[in-house]
A and B are shown apart, each in its own frame.
Chain A
Amino acid sequence: MAFNITRSRSLLSPDRTFRAITLMAAVTTATILAIIFVVLALGSIPALTASSFVDFIGTNAGPIFGTVATALIAIAVAGPIGILAAVYLVEFAPKRLAVVLTFIVELIAAIPSVVFGLWAVNDLSIRLRDSVEWWIASTFGKFIPFLSEDSNNPAADSVFRAGFLVGIMIIPLVVALSREIIRAVPISLREGYIGMGATRWETIRHVVLPTARIGITGALMLALGRALGETIAVTMVIGGSNDVPGSLFQPGSTIATRIATTLPEANPDVKSVLIALGVILFFVSLGLSLAMRLAARQTAKITASVK
Chain B
Amino acid sequence: MPSDESIKTSTGVTTSRRTEPVSAEKAADDAYPTSSKYALELNNVEAFYGTFRAVAGVSLKIAPKSVTAFIGPSGCGKSTLLRVLNRMHETLPGTSVKGQTLLDGVDLYGPKVDPVRARRLVGMVFQKPNPFPTMSIFENVISGLRLGGVRSKSELESVAETSLRKAAIWDEVKDKLHQPGTSLSGGQQQRLCIARTIAVKPEIVLMDEPCSALDPLATLKVEELVRELAVDYTIVIVTHNMQQASRVSDTTAFFSMDEQRAGYLVEMDATSKIFTNPKESLTEGYIAGRFG
Contacts and interface: CB of A to CB of B under 8 A. Distances in A.
Interface of A: 94-95, 186, 188-189, 191-199, 202, 206-207, 210-211, 213, 302-303, 305-307
Interface in B42-73: none
Contact of B147 (A191, A202, A213, A302): A202
A196 B123 contact: yes
Nearest to A303: B133
B147 A196 contact: yes
Contact of B130 (A95, A188, A197, A210): A188
Given A193-B143, A195-B88, A188 B123 contact: no
Contact of A194 (B93, B117, B119, B180): B119
Contact of B133 (A189, A196, A202): A189
Contacts of B196: 196
Interface of B: 86, 88, 91, 93, 116-117, 119-120, 123-124, 126, 128-134, 143-144, 147-148, 180, 182-183, 186, 189, 193, 196-197, 200, 213
A97 to B, nearest CB: 12
Contact of A305 (B133, B147, B197): B133
A195 B119 contact: yes
A198 B88 contact: no
B116 to A, nearest CB: 5
A197 B93 contact: no
A196 B197 contact: yes
Contact of B132 (A94, A189, A199): A189
A303 B128 CA distance: 13
Contacts of B189: 307
Given A197-B116, A197-B120, A191 B144 contact: no
A186 B133 CA distance: 11
B228 to A, nearest CB: 21
B150 to A, nearest CB: 12
A195 B133 contact: no
Given A197-B200, A198-B116, A307 B128 contact: yes
Contact of A192 (B91, B126, B186): B126
Contacts of B88: 191, 194-195
A168 B3 CA distance: 73
Contacts of B126: 188, 191-192, 195
Contacts of A191: 88, 91, 126, 130
Contacts of A211: 132-134
Contacts of A305: 133, 180, 182-183
A196 B128 contact: no
B132 A197 contact: no
Nearest to B125: A195
Q: Is the interface of A mostly helix, strand, loop or mixed?
A: helix
B83 to A, nearest CB: 9
B84 to A, nearest CB: 13
A14 to B, nearest CB: 45
Contact of A210 (B123, B134, B197, B200): B134
Contacts of A207: 132, 134
A197 B148 contact: yes
B88 to A, nearest CB: 6
Given A94-B93, A306-B182, A307-B213, A195 B124 contact: yes
A95 B88 CA distance: 20
B132 A195 contact: no
A268 B143 CA distance: 64
B147 A306 contact: no
B182 A197 contact: no
A95 B130 CA distance: 26
A213 B132 contact: no
A105 to B, nearest CB: 22
A196 B86 contact: no
Contact of B86 (A189, A192, A195, A213): A195
B130 A196 contact: no
B119 A196 contact: yes
B144 A197 contact: yes
Contacts of A193: 132, 143
A307 B93 contact: no
Task: In the A-B complex, list the 5 residue pairs whose CB atoms are closest, starting with the nearest.
Answer: A197-B120, A305-B182, A210-B134, A195-B124, A196-B144
B143 A196 contact: yes
26 contacts: A186-B130, A188-B126, A189-B130, A189-B132, A191-B88, A191-B126, A192-B130, A192-B132, A193-B143, A195-B86, A195-B88, A195-B197, A196-B197, A196-B200, A197-B116, A197-B117, A197-B120, A197-B144, A197-B200, A199-B116, A211-B132, A211-B134, A213-B134, A302-B134, A302-B182, A306-B128
Nearest to B146: A206
A306 B143 contact: no
Contacts of B123: 195-196
B186 to A, nearest CB: 5
A306 B130 CA distance: 6
A197 B147 contact: yes
Given A197-B200, A211-B133, 9 more contacts: A188-B128, A192-B193, A195-B119, A196-B144, A198-B116, A213-B134, A303-B133, A305-B182, A306-B133
A197 B129 contact: no
Nearest to B206: A195
Contacts of A306: 128-131, 133, 182
Contacts of A196: 119-120, 123, 143-144, 147, 196-197, 200
